[in-house]
Amino acid sequence: MMLRGLALAGLLFGAEIGAAQAGGWHAVAFMYHRFGEDDYPSTSISLDTFEAHLDHLEEEYTIWPMERIVEHLENGEPVPDRTVAITIDDAYRSVYENAFPILKERDLPYTVFVATEPVDDGLSGYMTWDQMREMEEHGATFANHSTTHDYLVRQGEEESDEAYAERIRDDISNAQDRIEEELGEHNDIPMLFAYPYGEYNQTVADVAEDLGYIGIGQHSGAIGPYSHPMALPRFPMADSFSDLDDFKQKAGAKSLPVESIDPWDPVAAEDNNPPRMEVTLADSDARLNQLACFVGGQGSVEVEWTDRDARIFEVEAPETLNRGRTRYNCTAPSEEQGRFYWFSQQWIILPD
């Protein structure tokens, strides 16, 4: 479904699918990077914690490959409640050495997003294509994470719009070509693109969409029929934020049914910092009188209802956002005890 005009103008998206689902379904994707690498606490998870996560998921949830959830989203088909996906970014060597034996023993499906240049260059911290082929035989799917793993949202000062878009197109397409060459002989490579660093802007999303991809981010939240296909959320996991109780709460998250958001482009303009976000919600059993929003590094922020009957609210951080990535996170309790609706909008403040 090509939704560029809807997305980037801040108009309705997912409404047709959402209405058909009468309240919608909910799925959660978790994102991991490294396993058992203590020197990287912000991106690595201990093996004991990873096993605890998997124990909980196997006991309480249905585990699908990410591409299966996406297929249902694209086709307007419901996903069973309490469905989750396991995803891994960057193809680090510890995925093969530490995570793969665990996932293989449990016979679980999972998706690895590969940045191909470090693999082709034979960097010691990354898997090899032979290792990935072995993993393919035991439940792994591999998908696109760009060629260079560059900050694609950064356009060069002397770079024209056309040249910028072409550079992004090449970075994505060349990676897909390499993955298909190395891993596509016996398996279809899904048209999923995980943005490097989870960062995207209008141009990056446009290019990826024009090439036929679904866009995968790193902003928190659940996936549902109203989720935008160029900005699907995932919950990042690492030792710094891997508490089991928090993990259980996130696994049970529901997707706040966002019909529209304005602005959609996460890169905040200089004259819109802090960005003011307007959100329109579809009907659901979310207790909107308890809707709470938070700004990364600034804490809770006032929710301003501009039209409560139409479920339209606005949020703005009280202070200017720092350079880099920040999120507005909004949650509301569900009528189902212990479960929360969740929506996250990423903001990117580029360096001067």
Domain count within the chain: 2
Tell me, what CATH number does 277's domain have?
A: 2.60.40.1220
Q: Which of 235, 255, 275 is the last residue of a domain?
A: 255
- Check residue 22 and give its pLDDT: 37
Q: How confident is the model at residue 14 (pLDDT cuts 50, 70, 90)?
A: very low
Do 148 and 61 sit in the same domain of this protein? yes
Do 164 and 53 sit in the same domain of this protein? yes
Do 231 and 124 sit in the same domain of this protein? yes
114's CB contacts (< 8 A; 6+ apart) are 90, 91, 132, 142, 143, 144, 145, 175, 179
Q: How confident is the model at residue 1 (pLDDT cuts 50, 70, 90)?
A: very low
Instruction: Please give the structure tokens belonging to residue 292.
Output: 């709470």
Do 243 and 313 sit in the same domain of this protein? no
Q: How many CB atoms lie within 10 A of CB 85?
A: 24
Q: What is the pLDDT of residues 125-181, one digit of tens each?
A: 999 999 999 999 999 999 999 999 999 999 999 999 999 999 999 999 999 999 999
Asked if residue 263 has a cis previous peptide bond (ω within 30° of 0), the answer is yes
β-pairing, 235-236 with 27-32?
parallel
- φ, ψ of residue 111 to 5 degrees: the values are -120, 130
Do 219 and 91 sit in the same domain of this protein? yes
- Check residue 242 and give its pLDDT: 82
Q: How confident is the model at residue 23 (pLDDT cuts 50, 70, 90)?
A: low
Q: Which of 200, 226, 255 is the last residue of a domain?
A: 255
Do 333 and 215 sit in the same domain of this protein? no
Do 221 and 307 sit in the same domain of this protein? no
- The closest alpha carbon to 332, from 298, 276, 283, belongs to 283
Do 243 and 267 sit in the same domain of this protein? no
Range of the domain at 208: 4-255
Mean pLDDT of 50-60: 98
Q: What is the pLDDT of residues 178-201, one digit of tens each?
A: 999 999 988 899 999 999 999 999
- Check residue 20 and give its pLDDT: 35
pLDDT above 90 for 314: yes
Do 176 and 65 sit in the same domain of this protein? yes
Do 177 and 45 sit in the same domain of this protein? yes
- Whose structure tokens read 């690895």? 112
pLDDT above 50 for 299: yes
Q: Which of 231, 255, 279 is the last residue of a domain?
A: 255
SS (H, E, C) the chain: CCCHHHHHCCCCCCHHHHHHHCCCCCEEEEEECEECCCCCCCCEECHHHHHHHHHHHHHHCEECCHHHHHHHHHHCCCCCCCEEEEEEECCEHHHHHHHHHHHHHHCCCEEEEECHHHHHCCCCCECCHHHHHHHHCCCEEEEECCCCCCCCCCCCCCCCHHHHHHHHHHHHHHHHHHHHHHHCCCCCCCCEEECHHHCCCHHHHHHHHHCCCEEECCCCCCECCCCCCCCECCEECCHHHCCHHHHHHHHCCEECCEEEEECCCCECCHHHCCCEEEEEECCCCCCHHHCEEEECCCEEECCEEEECCCCEEEEECCCCCCCEEEEEEEEEECCCCCCEEEEEEEEEECCC
Do 37 and 154 sit in the same domain of this protein? yes
Do 144 and 226 sit in the same domain of this protein? yes
Tell me, what CATH number does 179's domain have?
A: 3.20.20.370
